Chain A
Amino acid sequence: MDEFLEQLADIFEVDSVKNDDELDKFECWDSLTILSIIALTSEKFGKQLSNDEIRDAKTIGGLISLINQK
C-alpha cells in the first residue's frame, strides 16, 4: 500500500499524500486525475472503480477504504 500511496502522490503531483487530504482540493484534480486513479487501481489490484465512486470517496483515506471494500 505504501507504493500505491507514492503512485497516488505522483498522480496528484505532490510529494506525499495523507489520509485526510481532500481529493478535489488538489491543484491538478480533474477527469484525467480520476482516469489515472481508475487505471492504476485496475493495474495494481485488478479492481474497477467508477468516476462517481472516486468523487464520493472525498479523501485519500476514503479512496483507500473504497479500494479495500471492492
Chain B
Amino acid sequence: MDLKFKNKKISGILSILPSTIVKFEDEMAYYNFSAAKSLKLKMAMGYNTHRIAKNGQCSSDLCIHGLQYLFDNGLLGKEEIDALLFVSQSPDYFMPPTSNVIQGHFGLKSDMICLDINQGCAGFEIGLIQSFMLLEQESINKVVLMNADVLSPKVSKRDRNSNPLIGDAAAITIVEKSDIPSTIHANVKMDGSNALALTIPAGGFRLPCSPETAQMEEDAAGNFRSKDNLVMKGDDVFNFVMREVPPMIHHLLQIAEVHKEDVSWFMFHQPNKFMLNKLADAIKVPREKMPSNIVENFGNSSGATVPVNISYNLGESLLSSSAKICLAGFGVGLTWSSILMDIGNLNFNKTINF
C-alpha cells in the first residue's frame, strides 16, 4: 500500500542504550557448537558486542530515562506533547497500555492521545506512519514516538540462532508539522499468513506460561529453547527479506520519482551484517550507503534499530545539514515498510547510555 504525507518532519532523535555490554565470546560456552564454528558464525554475521538491559529493567524504563533527559536538557517541553506512541513487543502489562503508564509517570496533560502499537522490526516505519496520520489533525502538533524493546529476557542463552544478535534499546523520535513544503513517500505491506515465522509462542492468552512451556527442547540445528523463548525461522525470514524488500525499495523510489543515486543513505533495520550486505547487493546500492554495524556494536533491538542506526552513524552530521534518506523495516508480522524522506537540521541526534 502506497502512502503519501505532506509537510511533516522529524525534529530530533535520541537513542537510549543499556550500559551493560556483553561480548560474543562471553556466551560461546552456552552454545552446543565448537568454538571454531561459533567464531566463524561471529565473522559471517558480524556479531561482537550487544547491549543487555539490567535484570528487571523494562522497555518503559529506557523510555522514561530518555524522556527525562530531554526534559532536563530543554529539548522537549512536557506540555508540547500531543501524542505519545509506544511501539514495542515488550510492554509492562497486558493492560493498561504502557504509553499511559509513561504519561502518568510524568504527569503529562490529559488532553492528549497515548497509543501502544505492537510491532517489531518495522516498528519505526509503522510508528512514523502513525505519527504522520495523527499530525493531519489540527489539534496535534507534536508527536513523541517511542520505539523500545527489552526482549533479551525472552531469548534462550543456549540459542545460537538468536542470543548473539539480540540487543535491548529504546529510541525517542520527535515528529511534527513542518512549515517547509515537503512530500514524504511511504509504503507498507503485511503477510499474516506467515505471522509465526518470528514469535514468542507462550505467555499470551493463547498459550499461557506453565511448567510445560518452560521445558527446554533441542531443534534440528542443535539450539535449545522453550516455548517461553523467542524463536525465529531464520531461513524463512532470510528468504522473505530477499524476496520482498528489493522490489519494495525500487517501487518506493519509482513512486517518489527519485533515482537511487540521489539517496544519501539507506538506513535499514539491522538483522545482521550478512543479510544487510546481501540486501545492498540485491538492491544494487553501495554497501557503504547502507550501514550494517548496529548488530556488532549494540545488537538487534527490533523496532529501535533504525533510529539507533541514524543517531549512531549519522549523529551530528544531521544537526546542521539535511539528507535524503530511505528507511526500511522488515520482519515480525510479517510486516515490511519503507519511507523516503529528507531528515536533517535536527535539534538533537545522539545516543545516551542508561
Q: With an 8 A cutoff between CB atoms, is B278 at the interface?
A: yes
Contact A35 B220 (CB under 8 A): no
Asked whether A42 lies within 8 Å of B221 as measured between CB atoms, the reply is: no
Q: In this assembly, does B239 line the interface, its C-beta being within 8 Å of a C-beta of chain A?
A: yes
Measuring CB to CB, which residues of chain A are less than 8 angstroms from any residue of chain B? 28, 30-32, 34-36, 38-39, 42-43, 48-52, 55
B235 touches A38 (CB 8 A): yes
Q: How many residues of B contact A (CB 8 A)?
A: 23
A19 → chain B closest CB, angstroms: 24
Other-chain residue from A30, A42, A43, A48 in contact with B37 (beta carbon distance below 8 A): A30
Q: Does B236 contact A (CB under 8 A)?
A: yes
Residues from chain A with Cβ under 8 Å of B278 in the complex: 39, 42-43
Among residues of B, the one whose C-beta sits closest to the C-beta of A31 is B221
Check A50–B236 contact: CB distance below 8 A.
Answer: yes
**Which residues in B have their C-beta under 8 angstroms from that of A36?**
44
B160 within 8 A of A: yes
> Is B242 on the interface with A (CB-CB < 8 A)?
yes
Residues of chain B within 8 A of A32, CB atoms compared: 37, 40-41, 44-45
Given known contacts A28-B40, A31-B161, A32-B37, A38 and B238 CB-to-CB distance under 8 angstroms: yes
Q: Select B220's contact among A38, A48, A51, beta carbons within 8 Å.
A: A51
Q: How far is the CA of A36 from the CA of B41 in the complex (A)?
A: 11
B37→A35 contact, CB < 8 A: no
Question: Do residues A42 and B235 form an inter-chain contact, with CB atoms below 8 A?
Answer: no
Confirm or deny: B54 has a beta carbon within 8 angstroms of a beta carbon on chain A. Answer: no
User: Within the complex, what minimum Cβ distance (angstroms) separates A26 from chain B?
Assistant: 12
B274 touches A30 (CB 8 A): no
CA distance A43 to B283 in the complex (A): 12
Closest 8 CB pairs of A and B: A31-B221, A51-B235, A48-B239, A32-B41, A50-B235, A42-B242, A30-B37, A39-B278
Which residues of chain B are within 8 angstroms of A31 by Cβ–Cβ distance? 160-161, 221-222, 234
Closest Cβ of chain B: how far from A20's Cβ, in Å?
23
Measured CA separation A43–B281 after assembly (Å): 9
Task: Report A-chain residues with C-beta under 8 Å of the C-beta of B235.
Answer: 34-35, 38, 49-51
Write out the residue numbers on chain B whose beta carbons fall within 8 Å of the beta carbon of A34: 221, 235
13 contacts between A and B (CB under 8 A): A28-B40, A30-B37, A30-B41, A31-B222, A32-B37, A32-B41, A32-B44, A35-B274, A36-B44, A39-B242, A42-B242, A42-B278, A43-B281
